[in-house]
Amino acid sequence: MEIVSSYNLIIEFSVILILSFLFNGISKRTNIPSVLMLIGLGILLQYLLKNFTSAEIDFFPILEVLGIVGLIMIVLEAALELELKKEKLLPILKSFAVALIGLIASVWATVWILMTFVPDMTNESAWLYATPLSILSSAIIIPSVAGLSKKKREFHIYEGTFSDILGIMMFYFLTGKLNPSEDSGIVGFGGNIILTIVISLVASYAIILIFQNIKTPVKLFLLIALLLLLYALGKKMHLSSLIIILIFGLVIANMKVFFQGKLSKWLHYEKAHQIYHELHTITAETAFVVRTFFFVIFGLTIVVSSLFDWQVALVSSLIIFSIYLIRLIILMVFVGKDMLPQLFIAPRGLITVLLFYAIPVEAQIEGFEPGILLFVIIGTSLIMTFAMIFDKKRSNKAIQEAQNRKVENVKWKVPTVLEDGEAK
């Protein structure tokens, strides 16, 4: 049977998108991440392909491109949601601290586990394998926390976004260590970040001022193409390209903060705000499509049998245990006792997969089973699912009890003063 004919591909892509839309509806009702359903769909398609064709299809180039575009869209979508206000400064700093400390501590713990249980694992390779496994997945978190309170939802959006950016920066800093000629050290790395921020701000101001004066209605994909170009060029120049996307999203979402004083005269707020509104919509739609095909294709590429390997189960379970132990300690310090369901919202996903496939050949270890990756992704997603379901039931129970309590009037009687001065 011909799988890759033009009309068959159109049918296949359309059915996958329709199913993804249905998965989102199921996810909202059950709190089961749609990502798990998409991976499951990919695994099912993998077995169907084996029955209908014997041809080997290399999905990795598609997976890599989808991962990069998906990452850009997800970070941009998150940045467009963030408000920069004085009252938001403390929550932002708190989320940044939780993301940074959690990332470093999780990487350190995972390095120890990999060095102990994976044969032939070197220290340099362990750090590169551990970093993707320690990054939170904003692709899973952002859609999953929509039902939480505003305060908790914002915490997770900030934390997930910071974890993505810091994790990617850390990963490429470590890959630079493999090649001494490209290793610029801590000072060079810090200078790289400052340069990236400066370029990001200049580019963001220029894009907004230019695009607000473009009269043609067909300009949003031009804007997205420009952002993709800036990201790719930044990578070629060894800049922290994701910062470019984050800062642009923050600038256009908070134009009144960035365009003050003389700069405010250059801004046509209504036109620019219309661009922001339309960009917000198209970014969410594009992120949905890219995320759908990324996780389905990931499901097509994984080897399910590796999940049943005892070493995979042992190493993965230890990594998952370390994730939540570290998270418990950090949240006790920065959040306090009210840490449910935040404690269990720590899934791994798109960034984990993308960076895993980006590990340089010279650092790859044959003894590392890719099933560990899948085990950790599924394990952390299931734990988050159960936590969200429990939290939803707890909230519904509290609301139900409040509604069942009758509001009654109690007659108040004036107390009688006795001779000894006591009230009766």
Amino acid identity for residue 340 in this structure: L
Residues of the chain with pLDDT under 70: 1-5, 53-56, 179-187, 395-424
Q: What is the pLDDT of residue 234?
A: 85
Domain boundaries of the chain, sorted by first residue? 14-360+369-391
Residue whose entry in the numeric block shows the structure tokens 């694992």: 121
- Three-class SS string for 191-244? HHHHHHHHHHHHHHHHHHHHHCCCCCCCCHHHHHHHHHHHHHHHHHCCCCHHHH
Q: What is the pLDDT of residue 220?
A: 83
Q: What is the pLDDT of residue 295?
A: 85
* 165: nearest Cα among 143, 136, 141: 136
Angstrom distance (rounded) from CA 10 to CA 13: 5
- Cα dist from 169 to 137, 196, 240, 349, whole Å: 15, 12, 6, 17
For the stretch 108-143, pLDDT in tens is 999 999 999 998 899 999 999 999 999 998 878 877
- Cα dist from 243 to 91, 214, 368, whole Å: 20, 26, 31
Q: Which CATH class is domain 14-360+369-391?
A: mainly alpha
Q: What is the pLDDT of residue 326?
A: 96
Q: What is the pLDDT of residue 420?
A: 56
| Beta partners for residue 423, in sequence order | 417
Angstrom distance (rounded) from CA 263 to CA 168: 33
In terms of phi and psi (left: phi > 0; alpha: psi -120 to 50; beta: otherwise), the region of 237 is alpha
- Cα dist from 384 to 252, 273, 326, 337, 347, whole Å: 32, 35, 16, 18, 7
Angstrom distance (rounded) from CA 144 to CA 160: 12
Q: What is the pLDDT of residue 371?
A: 86
